[in-house]
Structure 1
Amino acid sequence: MSTWSNALNFKKIPLTAQDNLPDLALVNLDDWGLVTLIGDDKKSYLQGQVTCDVVSLPADASTLGAHCDAKGKMRTIFRLFNHNNGYGFLQRKSVMASQLPELKKYAVFSKVDIEASDDVLLGLTGESAQAVVDQLFTGEGDVRVIKAGTAVKIDEDRWLLAVTAEQAETVVNAIVEAYNDVRLSDSTLWDLYDIQYAIPRIDAATELEFIPQAMNLQAVDGISFKKGCYTGQETVARAKYRGINKRAMYIVSGEAAQCPQAGDALERNIGENWRKGGTLIASYQYADNLAVALVVLPNDLDSGTRFRLAAQPEFIWTKQDLPYTLEDE
C-alpha cells in the first residue's frame, strides 16, 4: 500500500477574499475518483453513453461531459482524457458507487473493461503550474503521457496529474524538492478554482437532479448536438431546440458562519418573502468568513435579486458574473 502522503501536510490554505492565490500549489484530490475504460470498443461504447463527442476527441485534449439517465438527468459530470492506452474519466468520488455500475451496465455486450482506478490524483495550481509541467514532464499539448500516468491541463491555472500509487511519492517529492515555494493544499483550493471558472460538478447530493443545461454544460463544451444518440439525448436536445430548460448555474457570494455543502438550499427574496431559489453545487469559505459558491437558479431572475442560505438566513448573498456567456451561438 502506498504511503506517499503520510509525511506531507495537505491542509486548507488560509486565504482571505483579498489574498492572491498561491503562485504554485500541489493539491491532494482525494475526494475525486477516476474511472478507466480499456478495450477495442471503448470509444464506440462511451460515445453511446455520454453527452460529449468521444469519437472526435484528440489524443492531446480533454473534454467535459455528462452521463445521464434515460430522462436526461445527470448521474455525473466528468472530464474525459486519453489515459494508459484507454480513457480516464474523472468525477467526484461521492458518485462512484452509484454511477459506475450504470456506466458498466451494457459493457458485457462490448469489448470494453470499465473499472475504478486506484491512481493517485494530484493538482498543480497557480500561475507557475504550466512552467512546472513543462520543466518536469516532456511532451506537448493539453494531455501528456508522463511516467506511470497522465498530465491533463484543466485551465490556464491548473493541471491534473493521474499517476500510479507506486509512483505518486516520486512525483510529489520531485515537485516539493525542486520548488521550495510550493504550497501544499487539500482539495478545497481546487474547489475555489472550479467556482471561479464556473466548472460544474455532480456530487451524491445532486445526482439525478438536473439536466446538463441547468449546469451550463453547453457553455463549457460538454455537450455535442451533432453526435449520434446517447442515453438522455432526447431531453438534452429538447432543452436546446424547444427552450424547455428554465435553470442555469451561477456564482454567488456572501458571508457564512460555516461553509455550505452540496445540496444545500439557497432562498431568494420575493417582495417581503423568501422562497426556495436554488441548490448549492460547490462552495468555498475564505478565512474571513466570506464564501463563494456555484448554485443552480432559475435563469430569469432579476439582476438585483438577493439570496440567503436556508440554514443561515442572517447573511445576504448576491449573484456574481460568470466567466463565460450562456447565450446560444
Structure 2
Amino acid sequence: MATVTASNFALGSVRLHHLAALDVKGADAEKFLQGQTSAQVSLADGHFAPLTCFCTPKGRMLANAQLMRLGDDHFRLILSNTLLESLANHLKKFAAFYRAELTPLPDLTFVGACGEDQSLAEQLGLQLPEHVGTHRNDEHTCALRYPGESPRWLLCFDHAELSAGATIEDDESSRNAWQLEDIRSGLAWLTDAQQDHFLPQMLNWEALGGISFKKGCYTGQEVVARAHFRGQVKKRLMRICVATAALPEVGASVVNSDQKSVGEVVTSAFTPQGDVELLAVMSTKVAEEPTPIFLLDAPATLQSLPYAIERVDPEQLAISMNA
C-alpha cells in the first residue's frame, strides 16, 4: 500500500475497484429474488435500497449486498467483486425456473464521493440522495448514499468514460480512506476469503436492517431466524484499533493473553495516525468480560460502533426513508 499520511486522508472522489454489480431482470425478477434473499424485495422501490444477503441452506452467508430497483422488472445488486461470479452461478440454478435473467457487470465504474466534493455529481447533472440507504438514478448513472461520519455517496456508471475535467483519485491511499469510513460505520462487505463462513448476524446484518424477519421463506431463513429468536449468536462484528505498521490478512486471528483465538479479521485500514482500524468477528465474551486482546503480537483495543446491536426491521427503515 502507498504511504498513508494525515494529509492524504481527505476523501474526495476515488475509484473503487472492490465492488461489482449483478443485474436481475425479467417479469419474475422480484418473485425470484424474494425466495433467495434476506430482504423484503418489495421495499426496493426505486428510492430505498435495502441491505440484503444470500445464504446457504445452513444459514451461512454466500454474499451480502445492497439491492436497488432500477426499473419495474430491473434490480441491481452491489457486492464484492470477488463474489460476483460465484453468486451469479449459485443464483442461476434457481433462476432457470423463473422468467428472470442474471447479468454480471464486472466492468461498471464505481466512484466514491464525499460531501465536500460533489463536483462530479454536478457535472453529471445527478441529484444526490439525502438519506443513508437511498439512491437516485438516471439512464446511465446511479448515486447511492453511504453511511459515514461525513456525507458520502457511491456513484455507479454504466460506462467507463466520465465527464471531461472530472478529478478522480485512483490510488490506494484514497481507497484506504474510503475503507476506513466503512469500518467506522460498522459496515463489512463479505469477500470470497470468508464465504460460507458467517451467519448474517455475525456481521451485525440485522442491526443494519439487512434481514427481514417479517417476510416469507428464503434459502437459509429457518437457521437465521432460529439463531435470532433463540439468542444463539455468540459471535459479533466488533471494531478494533491496533498499533501496527502492517494491515492484517483477512481471517487473521485476534487472540487473548493465553494466545487463544477470540476472533478473526474481516476488513482493515490505516488511520491518519498510522495505526490500523479493523472489523473482526469476535466472541461476544470479549465485550461482556473485557480482557486484553492482541493482533500481530500488538495490543488491541475495542472501539465503539455507531449503532446498537439490536434488530432493526428494514420495513421501518423504508417508512422513515419515504416519510
**Normalised TM-score (structure 1):** 0.84
Output the CA distance in 1 between the equivalents of 2:284 and 2:230: 15
- Is 1:214 paired with 2:202? yes
- Is 1:325 paired with 2:315? no
Output the CA distance in 2 between the equivalents of 1:160 and 1:328: 25
Task: Flag the 1:299–1:20 CA change in 2: closer, same or farther, 3 A.
Answer: farther
- Is 1:160 paired with 2:154? yes
Is the CA contact (8 Å cut-off) linking 1:278 and 1:298 kept in structure 2? yes
Is the CA contact (8 Å cut-off) linking 1:44 and 1:55 kept in structure 2? no
User: What is the one-letter code of the residue matched to 2:125?
Assistant: F
Query: What is the deviation of 1:138?
Result: 3.7
- Is 1:304 paired with 2:290? yes
Deviations 1:139-191 (A, max 9, x none): 464322235232211225221122123xx3224x3532xxxxx6554432321
The equivalent position to 1:145 in structure 2, one of 137, 149, 164, is 137
Paired-residue identity, %: 26
Query: What is the deviation of 1:73?
Result: 0.2
Deviates more, 1:287-296 or 1:69-78: 287-296
The equivalent position to 2:234 in structure 1, one of 233, 239, 246, is 246
Output the CA distance in 2 between the equivalents of 1:137 and 1:220: 30
- Is 1:256 paired with 2:244? yes
Give the match for residue 64 of structure 1: 51
Give the match for residue 200 of structure 1: 188
Query: What is the deviation of 1:135?
Result: 6.5
Output the CA distance in 2 between the equivalents of 1:31 and 1:328: 28
Output the CA distance in 2 between the equivalents of 1:118 and 1:208: 22
The equivalent position to 2:299 in structure 1, one of 316, 320, 323, is 316
Is the CA contact (8 Å cut-off) linking 2:82 and 2:192 kept in structure 1? yes
Give the match for residue 60 of structure 2: 73
Task: Flag the 1:267–1:246 CA change in 2: closer, same or farther, 3 A.
Answer: same
Task: Flag the 1:93–1:240 CA change in 2: closer, same or farther, 3 A.
Answer: same
- Helix, strand or coil: the match of 1:220? coil
Output the CA distance in 2 between the equivalents of 1:91 and 1:328: 22
Deviations 1:174-226 (A, max 9, x none): 532xxxxx655443232111101011221111111110111100111100000
Deviations 1:28-67 (A, max 9, x none): 1112221111111111111110111111222112121110
Output the CA distance in 2 between the equivalents of 1:149 and 1:118: 15
Give the match for residue 105 of structure 1: 93
Give the match for residue 268 of structure 2: 283
Query: What is the deviation of 1:261?
Result: 2.2
Output the CA distance in 2 between the equivalents of 1:299 and 1:28: 35
Instruction: Name structure 1 gaps, 5 residues minimum.
Output: 1-10, 177-181
Give the match for residue 7 of structure 1: none
Output the CA distance in 2 between the equivalents of 1:148 and 1:50: 26
Count of residues in Structure 1 that have an aligned counterpart in Structure 2: 302
Give the match for residue 54 of structure 1: 41
Output the CA distance in 1 between the equivalents of 2:2 and 2:21: 23
Output the CA distance in 1 between the equivalents of 2:260 and 2:233: 20
Is the CA contact (8 Å cut-off) linking 1:118 and 1:164 kept in structure 2? no
Is the CA contact (8 Å cut-off) linking 1:123 and 1:158 kept in structure 2? no
Output the CA distance in 2 between the equivalents of 1:12 and 1:26: 17
Deviates more, 1:29-38 or 1:133-142: 133-142
**Normalised TM-score (structure 2):** 0.85
Higher strand share: 1
Is the CA contact (8 Å cut-off) linking 1:129 and 1:158 kept in structure 2? no
Output the CA distance in 2 between the equivalents of 1:12 and 1:136: 30
- Is 1:28 paired with 2:28? no
Task: Flag the 1:174–1:103 CA change in 2: closer, same or farther, 3 A.
Answer: farther
Query: What is the deviation of 1:287?
Result: 6.2
Task: Flag the 1:64–1:15 CA change in 2: closer, same or farther, 3 A.
Answer: farther
Query: What is the deviation of 1:101?
Result: 0.9
